Structure 1
């Protein structure tokens, strides 16, 4: 049995291009090129397949691109939009493994220890994580190997699963696939070393001439990886950003874009088993400035419609003072309303459905107007007590007494202390001193009728008998046993 630790790498080719398509899916099939820089320093850094087929190549200027392919769409992508896509990739990785590390800026590596009990083979795992990344709005290449850097090489070259056959699988790749520094790459090419296999076959004295980087690169070329995974912590806040090529001054247009961003945020939070509890919208104004609006759902909810309406109402209540050029949407995650089911109790509501209901009520009535009724501290006999916030497990269940009300109330005699509290009871088959007494709980009803009721209840513990509820009728000044606590 192979006990070697395996690593999976998910790499997003053309990350800036995919980040733009993720927030502007309407440009998906168009010839699209990403521009980096301004003025005379602007260059094409990414291009779609349609743009490449039209004659666009990386490194050309926007002016050259438009002269060759007038139909090409030129866009610049801000770092915050790229970072949102990068964080979405990291969120997907955390939904599969707790040990995750970004590598190279456009990929993430995760430790696959313990995952093969859920996935029968590395290929099935690769298919599962690729499908989840696609659902998040990105297209990824997956590589699996016995080291983090080897997994990245496999992903970038499209080799897939090479675990256990790393040296053979990467031997025919160009030496640039190992991502050496530009200086070392040019030195290797000048020496005629153009493939990974050629680098692996060199003698061990390569370090004397080319330095430590060359030694580490040769180790990698031989199918060995010395990089140790340094896991990062999961996200606590989640952010989506959208930059626009035009200004928006109507709430309807902004709400449409906002709903798509909320949907992406909800999907990212779901990978951590969280739902949005607070939404903070930062609107970028023309020409400069920022307008911040916050929305607080009545309860954490994943209902996209409720969250969208809530954000829209928050913006309508505090509208931006100028047209909007873009926005960022930040969410804080919280667990869904915890509900512990009971094997012997009534079915419990679905936590997510309950959160969605509270969220919709919060939109309609306001977050401050949604909640559960609470008592005002008054003592009322037989009033149902408030349900606890958490339900204990079967082994931790507290003892709960039940009052068994008697059909015919036996009459008894009760002796009182100086302070009016019961001290002794006898009659009705019950006789003995009262160890403890709780009460009185006054009751007055039907005073407008011919048979009014006025009296008080006492809960008493009778020595060697148990706990009883006594009823003192003020009108007749008589005592009765009303119920027995079992």
Structure 2
């Protein structure tokens, strides 16, 4: 019969220590672990946990719920097999919240209204009447109060770690020598990634230098790829722009995995750009112009007009034909005015007698809390003039002037 050890500790090495003791581990957020061990190995595992993890709350039982409550209420308790119900009988009902999601915790307040104070009293309730009033959720809580596990044991399986390192027997002082080493490492990494059906989303390069310093570079790709020659070319371009300041005595390269990008080409649309060639082009542009000058324009999270910023470039997804047709059909059914904007807006002196009708104002402001000249405040109006034109004008509270922002077509 398996035994379960529940541990709760703020020690960051708790998972690594637990993995050396059992292959079946469940993570109990925020700082708990549940280990499944054999009865013969129970004493040895408990001794090692108490010796290596500090501080530590620990409980042992034949069921998971009992082990968790034992660790949280009476640390160090070892519940004998078959005695789970006796141990839990005197504990308060609200302690079940330590092992329940938030929606199920709301049912515990109902037991308090019924006068049910302990887990023993909850376990003694008639099952049929409990199900009739609270449904299967109430029966689930009663089984937990009796020390029975109500769900399977999903053990934690750590994902593969794609990293290769190499210690050098001599100091490298040229990019050509380093490129040869990186080429072999990338071949090994890409072979492992292909076995898992993954590609490279980013590369983290760590170089140990002969002056006892660490040199790190992170390379983000526009599209996941698993071609070592392309990755080597991108790393070479990056190192040409940012060379290390000393000789190299150690190399470590980590690949951040991601699912490969699958493209479904269409017979009726122009072909999409090759993502691998795009990554190589972006790498060359970054080496030539600098990382801060390469990216895609994106809207900032503000109401300031024309507020944009540069974000890292990502390859666009293949267009969905059905979504495009649906959007075109919806656009064809709606007639909208388009605003032809002036950049920059033009100062204007429109008089009130020139205006036939108007709508507004629409007031907006921002960045006044920064205390800099970046603050802005404006009142926008849509006006129809005597000549029949419809314009968007606004009053700038900072510049104290009227501006013509655009004309409606």
Q: TM-score range by the shorter chain?
A: 0.3 to 0.5
State the TM-score, normalized to the length of structure 1. Answer: 0.33
Q: TM-score, normalised by structure 2?
A: 0.38
**Rg bigger for which structure?**
1
